[in-house]
Amino acid sequence: MSSTLTKDSKIYIAGHKGMVGSAIWRALETVGYNNLIGQTSQQLDLRNQEAVNQFMATTAPDVVIVAAAKVGGILANSQFQYQFLLENMQIQNNIIDAAHRNNTQKLIFLGSSCIYPKLAQQPLTEDSLLTGPLEPTNEGYAIAKIAGVKLCQHIKNQYHKDFVSLMPTNLYGINDNFDLKSSHVLPAMIRKFHDAKLNDNAPVTLWGSGTPMREFLHVDDLAQAVLFAMQNQLAEHLYNVGTGTDITIKQLAETIQKTIGHTGEIIWDSTKPDGTPRKLMDVSKLKKAGWQYSIPLEEGIEKTYQWFLNNANSYKQVKL
């Protein structure tokens, strides 16, 4: 464990109400960290540099975890590139710079596997960063996250602070977003199959061909990786976080369909985009450092669906 970190250390989790931030909060609380700090977007607009600087100067956190971001699926990412680029740059630049200015010694920046080139060699290694063009549908988001990685790298190198970036693969789990206009593929499928089941097992139409390969990590596993990074001084500035295994979107759909008990037809709409053909992470670097995932995909999907059922009143049912 980092010699200066105690269970009383002030830990600021930016984005603590989101899926990732709330999972990190739960994980830290569970092992006894008792001085966790969170601000809602109403309390603190992370896009406002002056407000963020003032907040950091007042609270002086020992650890900062950057889990705040403007996020969405293929549809949202491709339609609002400007907002995804600008707002994510504002959020992370403000937090990282304010942490640096206020002498925070440890910061963990969370990004995404979309930072890597669209056609990078699989599995994706950390050193494939900036070796080729990005996936066009989420270029804005990816460029913002790359900038965050580079900020942390240069602070680590120039100022010898423990600023590290963790790049998770596709995440899912408790507190996920099931809104069909802005959600990612796995929760969107849960929502679609659930609604179709309630509508006499109506057919479910899914985007693309079903052939792309994807890797999925339960958000509670990512929270454990963040805890590991917080309690240990990692040698490198950038680490992939994932399972190191992937499945086709078609296999994912069939797994979710089975979990939910939907017996209708699956229709693939090949006029819609597939996105990146494959995104498998090489997770050997973090594994070598001492961390690996523990929640199998089927178990994770069951847990997520149970949470969805318990919170289904948050989402209006879709008429098919």
Question: Is 125 marked as binding a ligand?
Answer: no
Question: Is 46 marked as binding a ligand?
Answer: no
How far apart CA 194 and CA 204 sit, in angstroms, is: 10
Burial class (CB in 10 A: 0-12, 13-18, 19+), 49: middle
Lookup: tokens for 221: 């596993």
Catalytic annotation present for 141: yes
Question: Is 106 marked as binding a ligand?
Answer: no
3-state DSSP percent of the chain in helix, strand and coil, to 5: 45, 15, 40
Distance from the first to the final alpha carbon of the chain = 53
Neighbours of 6 (CB within 10 A): 13
The catalytic position among 141, 239, 293, 305 is 141
Question: Is 207 marked as binding a ligand?
Answer: yes
Question: Is 56 marked as binding a ligand?
Answer: no
Question: Is 270 marked as binding a ligand?
Answer: no
Question: Is 181 marked as binding a ligand?
Answer: no
Residue (of 227, 72, 117, 242) closest to 167 by Cα position: 242
Question: Is 291 marked as binding a ligand?
Answer: no
Q: Is 204 helix (H, G, I), strand (E, B) or coil?
A: strand
If phi over 0 gives left and psi between -120 and 50 gives alpha, with beta otherwise, what is residue 140? alpha
Question: Is 183 marked as binding a ligand?
Answer: no
Neighbours of 136 (CB within 10 A): 15
Strands (E) across the chain are located at 11-14, 36-37, 63-66, 106-110, 162-168, 170-172, 204-207, 213-214, 216-218, 238-241, 247-248, 266-269, 278-279
Question: Is 17 marked as binding a ligand?
Answer: yes
Question: Is 140 marked as binding a ligand?
Answer: no
Question: Is 185 marked as binding a ligand?
Answer: no
Question: Is 19 marked as binding a ligand?
Answer: yes
Lookup: tokens for 159: 């100022």
Question: Is 268 marked as binding a ligand?
Answer: no
Residues at the binding site for substrate are 192, 207, 214, 274
Residues at the binding site for NADP(+) are 15-21, 110-113, 145, 168-171, 184
Instruction: Provide the annotated active-site residues.
Output: 141
Residues at the binding site are 15-21, 110-113, 145, 168-171, 184, 192, 207, 214, 274
